[in-house]
Structure 1
Amino acid sequence: MADYTIRVYKNRDYNAVRMLFAEGMLEYIPATCAYVLKLPRAQFVLFISFITLLLISRSYLLSLVSLAIVFTAGRRQLNSEYHQYVEMCQREDLLDIEESYMASNNSCFWVVECNSRVIGMVGAQPVPRSTEVMVLRRLSVAKDKRHQGLASALCHKVKDFARQRGFKVVTLETSMIQVAAHKLYEKLGFQNTDVKIVPSLLGRFANFSILTYEYRIKE
């Protein structure tokens, strides 16, 4: 950690933060695709599609090509959903980071800097109209800088910030596919308190869920 500095966000970090968030989220497309393909219902749909195409065309080659087209269409849909999520976030709190996180005494945004490069980030905001629950948001570390304790240090930054301002709980949401993040949060004392299915067509088909974790600040 000696070569890194965790500091408060500045306006010059804007493009780097938005890019780091996008890159981090889009990394999960291959893992999500692999998860969907392992589902029995997905395998059943592909199998039925192949058999139906084979009966209609009486050609293994044409059936395989058609199945590849179906797979490609599904991959594109998954890719589209991830990009839509990134764009939505960049239109919301990440559109004006200064206003979203730095305008209030009870919210903040930090970045990790190494050799003038932003390699990590995290934000903290109170739940609307709450003086007890703080939300940890947008935690991300550059792929080539992981496994060095940066994510853990950023989480501690949010926990300390919440404690100093009298909050009692730090909460966050993460997807089921972010297994490494689950292990990190649990190691830091967070507990899984809720699971909900993503309300999209793909989310319902794959039972793709969002997990809520909470950390209770000790008095």
Structure 2
Amino acid sequence: MADFTIRVYKNRDYNAVRIMFAEGMMEHLPATCAYLLKLPRAQFILFISFISLLLVSKSYLLSLVSLAIVFTAGRRLLTREYHQYVDKCQREDLLDIEESYMASNNSCFWVAESSGRVVGMVAAQAAPRSSEVMLLRRLSVVRDQRRKGIAAALCKKVIDFARQRGYKTLSLEVSMMQNAAQKLYESLGFQMMDDNVLPSLLGRFANFSIMTYEYKIKD
């Protein structure tokens, strides 16, 4: 028997939801750093930087220290990018969850609760300019409660919600770094429909993409 329940969001969940979203996003930072360091263009830049520093300073130690400083600065810039994205979301739909998701019949926000603790969340929202597409948004489960079927149950809740309201397609976006999420969606029957590189400088440099998945809802 599942040791969690899924219920509709309440105002008392506000802080837990926002913290869960922020922590979930920041979890992807180490994997993103590792991905960037594996890029041939990034390795080339680091190599050229090291050689240039070595030629100028004539010191391997100073060159290595300077390279470490460059790496640290790069990680801080990437961390700032993640924080800016979290702040943006928390100023938009997650600023007033009641207004964003609970005020319309075609949107909703749910949380998963275990032993009185909010351990997961997901949202459904009608896609702009479409009467047939619903969006699955803000899926997240706290780290110590994963692999218990919570994320799958939350997804199924959104699928049922969309079906009950007559929508034909459920759509979502996921970053290339979210491998576990991609596997989850595919196991539930979602199919990848598009793959777009982020238009930012970092996105173009790293070929960092956002994938769109769709689930065709059966009557």
Structure 2 match to 1:71:
71
1:45 counterpart residue number: 45
Instruction: Provide the C-alpha distance between the structure 2 equivalents of 1:144 and 1:3, rounded to a whole number of angstroms.
Output: 13
Return the letter of the residue paired with 1:47: F
Describe the SS at the equivalent of 2:167: coil
2:60 is matched with 60
Secondary structure of 2:36's counterpart equals helix
Paired with 2:15 and 2:200, the residues of 1 have a C-alpha distance of 29
Aligned residues: 219
CA distance in 2, matches of 1:211, 1:2: 31
Uncovered stretches (5+) of structure 1, i.e. residues with no partner: none
Q: Secondary structure at the match of 2:189?
A: coil
- Partner Cα separation in structure 2 for residue 129 and residue 206 of structure 1: 32
Give CA-to-partner distance per residue, 1:29-57, whole Å, 9 cap, x none: 00000000011111111000000110111
Deviates more, 1:100-109 or 1:122-131: 122-131
Q: Which residue of 2 aligns with 1:4?
A: 4
The letter of the residue matching 2:142 is A
The percent identity for this pair of structures is 76
Which residue of 2 is the match for residue 91 of structure 1?
Answer: 91
Matches of 1:159 and 1:85, distance apart in 2: 27
Match of 1:179 in 2: 179
Letter in 2 for 1:14: Y
Deviation string, structure 1 residues 76-105 (Cα, Å, up to 9, x no partner): 011000000000000010000000000000
Structure 2 residue ranges without an equivalent (≥5)? none
Question: Displacement, 1:176?
Answer: 0.1
Indicate the SS of the match to 2:20: helix
Q: Confirm whether residue 108 of structure 1 aligns to residue 77 of structure 2.
A: no
1:2 Cα offset (Å): 2.9
In 1, the alpha carbon distance for the partners of 2:2 and 2:46 equals: 51
Listed one character per residue, the Cα deviations across residues 179-214 of structure 1 (whole Å, up to 9, x for unaligned) are 011100001000101111112221111111100000
Amino acid of the structure 1 residue aligned with 2:34 = A
The structure 1 segments of at least 4 consecutive aligned residues displaced by more than 2 Å after TM superposition are none
Shift of 1:158: 0.4
TM-score by length of 1: 0.98
Q: Once the two structures are superposed, what CA deviation does each residue of 1:142-174 show, in whole Å capped at 9, x if it has no partner? A: 000000100000000000000000000000001
SS in 1 for 2:47: helix
Question: Following the alignment from structure 1 to structure 2, what is the Cα–Cα distance between the partners of residues 28 and 146?
Answer: 15
